Structure formats: structure tokens, C-alpha cells
């Protein structure tokens, strides 16, 4: 259990009370790396805030920050959340697009989350667990489920499992992000936008170039909630041009 928590934290800094509680009392018997992670986790103001706000993952604050600034999640908008587990980005998207709103007089959005892993149910979101976002079968399923078969926004906080070899992880990340262009071709509305996490490195230009071919505006952003010591960045790509 401990091992799997350590494995998971690389993808998402979990905020579950159970994990933090069992972690807090003693560091004995933990490797130095595990101890460092725990200490950082316990001191991290975003981890604390995430627990207070009931977000499933600390990463929530990155999307909040991006959306506060760029206002992409408006009521009525349809969103595909790629790599959605454990579901914090979807929590935010559901609220901001008004995906639980039932009144026909009000704009009511949609949120569909996809992940290779299981995702616990969330009111207002539709999840496709155990599915690979790079697979054409998943694309077809999304086309079937989205209102009118199309999305206004694609969000991706996806990441490959880190191998620890920075260059290799960077390359895998960039190839993974590039597959989002196929997804956009199939489900993104003209004028739609995409937010995509990546780990910066020598091939980032390839991703930027790929995005710039089909979006009018592409810019790299680094939210404050993204740790300064990490190579993590996001591309915000706006105004999708259908090919
Ligand atoms: C950092 S976590 C996402 C955290 C999420 N945004 C949240 O706020 O709860 C990255 C996720 O991407 C998923 N992922 C990686 N590759 C994927 C793929 N090819 N298809 C679907 N999900 C993928 C991982 O399983 C992992 O759960
Ligand atoms: C969201 O939907 C609810 C109920 O359908 C509605 O009362 C509310 O005004 C909507 N919010 C926005 C910002 O449109
Ligand atoms: C990461 O590892 C987990 C556990 O081994 C596995 O279930 C998941 O599919 C892997 N994710 C990726 C992106 O390869």
C-alpha cells in the first residue's frame, strides 16, 4: 500500500486525509526519498488547501489558476479531461461549466474524464476509466458521448509514469501530448481550446509547432501552484482551426 502511494504521488499529489495521517506520525523505516516527499507534502500549503476544499488532488490549483486568468471554462461548455484520475480537474470543470445544472433555462455544460486508471464517481461528470486516450476506440466513444459529438475544451494533465531518466520521460511526454492533436481533429470544435501539461526539454518546440499548426494562439504557462523545481509547464492553445 505504501509502495503504491509513493508510485502514485509521481502522477498526482494526493490529498487524502488517510494518506497524510498514516504518513505523519513517523518517518522511521522510510527511505530518504520517501522522507523528503513526506516532509514536503506535509508542509505544502496547496496540499493543505486542497484538503480544506475537498479537492481530490493538489493539481486542482493549477487549473484554477489557469482558468481564473484565461477564462476557458464558462457555463455551458463541453470539456474532455484527459488523464482525469483521481478527478480534481474534473471537480473544477464540473463547477465552472455548470455540468450539474438541470434547469433548461441555464447553460449546462458537460465534463467527460478519461484515464487508464479507475476514477471514483463524481456528480456532473461522466468518466471513462481504464481507457487509453491515445486509442481510436476512446476517440469514438467520446464522439458518441459529447453533446453534438464535439467539445469546446480539451484539458490534459496526463503524464507517463516517470522512469527517472529525465530525457526519456520528456520524450514520452511530448509524444503523448502530440497524440492530443488526433483527438482534437476528431472532437474539438472550431475555435475550441486545449490546455496541455508537459515536461519541458529539448523537444518542447515540436509540441509547440504541432499545436501552432492547428491553433491560432499557443503560449507556454507556468502556474504558481506548479512547483518551481519541476520541469512542468503547460501549453494553452486557443482558437482551433479545423484542418
Ligand atoms: C497527474 S495525473 C492527473 C491528475 C488530475 N488532473 C486531477 O486533478 O486529479 C495524470 C494521469 O494521467 C493518466 N494517463 C497517463 N497516460 C494516459 C493515457 N494514455 N490515457 C489516459 N490517461 C492517461 C495517468 O493514469 C494519471 O492518472
Ligand atoms: C447553472 O445552472 C443552475 C441550475 O440550472 C442555474 O441556476 C445557474 O444560474 C447556472 N449558472 C450559470 C453561471 O449559468
Ligand atoms: C503507470 O503504472 C500503473 C501501475 O503499474 C499502470 O496501471 C498505468 O497504466 C501506468 N500508466 C502509464 C501512463 O503507463
In tens, the pLDDT along 86-138 reads 999 999 999 999 999 766 777 899 999 999 999 999 999 999 999 999 999 99
Examine the residue annotation and report whether 197 is marked as an active-site residue of this protein. yes
Q: Taking each helix axis from N to C terminus, what angle separates 45-52 and 60-70, rounded to the nearest 10 degrees? A: 90
Q: Which residue has the cell 486509442?
A: 135
Residues 137 and 23 in one domain: no
Cis-peptide, bond into residue 86, ω within 30° of zero: yes
Residues 27 and 87 in one domain: no
Minimum CA distance residue for ligand 1 atom 27: 85
Minimum CA distance residue for ligand 1 atom 23: 83
Alpha helices (H) in the chain, listed in sequence order: 2-9, 17-23, 32-43, 45-52, 60-70, 88-97, 136-145, 166-178, 180-187, 204-214
Residues 204 and 169 in one domain: yes
CA distances 236 to 67, 74, 154, 233, Å, are 10, 16, 10, 10
Q: State how many domains the chain has.
A: 2
Quote the pLDDT of residue 1. 29
Quote the pLDDT of residue 15. 63
Residues 34 and 94 in one domain: no
Return the sign of the alpha-carbon dihedral for residues 220, 226, 228, 231. Answer: negative
Q: What is the mean pLDDT of residues 27-47?
A: 76
Domain that holds residue 12: 4-53
Quote the pLDDT of residue 50. 78
CA–centroid distance, residue 2 to ligand 3 (Å): 17
- CATH number of the CATH domain containing 206: 3.40.50.150
Quote the pLDDT of residue 12. 66
pLDDT-derived band of residue 178, with 50, 70 and 90 as boundaries? very high
* Chain Cα centroid distance, residue 168: 21
Task: For a ligand 2 pocket test, name from 71, 75, 96 the mutation site with the most ligand atoms within 8 angstroms of its C-beta.
Answer: 75
Q: What is the mean pLDDT of residues 138-167?
A: 96
Q: What is the mean pLDDT of residues 211-235?
A: 94
Residues 231 and 121 in one domain: yes
CA distances 237 to 170, 180, 183, 232, Å, are 20, 12, 14, 16
Q: How far is 103 from 106, CA to CA, in rounded Å?
A: 6
Residues 42 and 84 in one domain: no
pLDDT surpassing 80 at residue 233 = yes
Residues 139 and 40 in one domain: no
Amino acid at each position: 500500500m505504501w509502495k503504491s502511494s509513493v508510485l502514485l504521488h509521481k502522477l498526482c499529489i494526493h490529498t487524502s486525509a488517510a494518506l497524510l495521517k498514516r504518513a505523519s506520525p513517523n518517518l522511521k523505516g522510510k527511505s530518504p526519498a520517501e522522507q523528503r516527499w513526506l516532509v514536503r507534502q506535509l508542509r505544502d500549503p496547496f496540499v493543505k488547501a486542497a484538503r480544506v476544499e475537498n479537492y481530490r488532488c493538489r493539481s486542482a490549483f493549477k487549473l484554477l489558476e489557469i482558468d481564473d486568468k484565461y477564462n476557458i471554462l464558462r457555463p455551458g461548455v463541453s470539456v474532455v479531461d484527459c488523464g482525469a484520475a483521481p478527478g480534481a480537474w474534473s471537480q473544477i470543470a464540473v463547477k465552472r461549466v455548470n455540468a450539474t445544472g438541470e434547469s433548461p433555462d441555464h447553460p449546462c455544460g458537460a465534463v467527460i474524464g478519461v484515464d487508464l486508471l479507475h476514477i471514483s464517481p463524481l456528480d456532473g461528470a461522466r468518466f471513462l476509466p481504464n481507457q487509453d486516450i491515445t486509442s481510436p476506440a476512446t476517440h469514438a466513444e467520446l464522439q458518441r458521448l459529447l453533446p453534438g459529438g464535439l467539445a469546446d475544451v480539451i484539458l490534459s494533465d496526463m503524464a507517463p509514469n516517470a522512469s527517472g531518466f529525465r530525457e526519456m520521460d520528456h520524450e514520452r511526454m511530448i509524444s503523448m501530448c502530440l497524440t492530443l492533436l488526433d483527438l482534437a481533429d476528431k472532437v474539438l470544435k472550431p475555435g475550441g481550446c486545449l490546455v496541455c501539461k508537459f515536461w519541458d526539454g529539448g523537444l518542447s518546440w515540436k509540441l509547440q509547432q504541432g499545436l501552432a499548426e492547428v491553433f491560432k494562439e499557443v503560449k507556454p504557462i507556468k502556474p504558481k501552484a506548479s512547483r518551481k523545481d519541476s520541469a512542468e509547464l503547460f501549453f494553452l492553445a486557443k482558437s482551433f482551426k479545423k484542418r
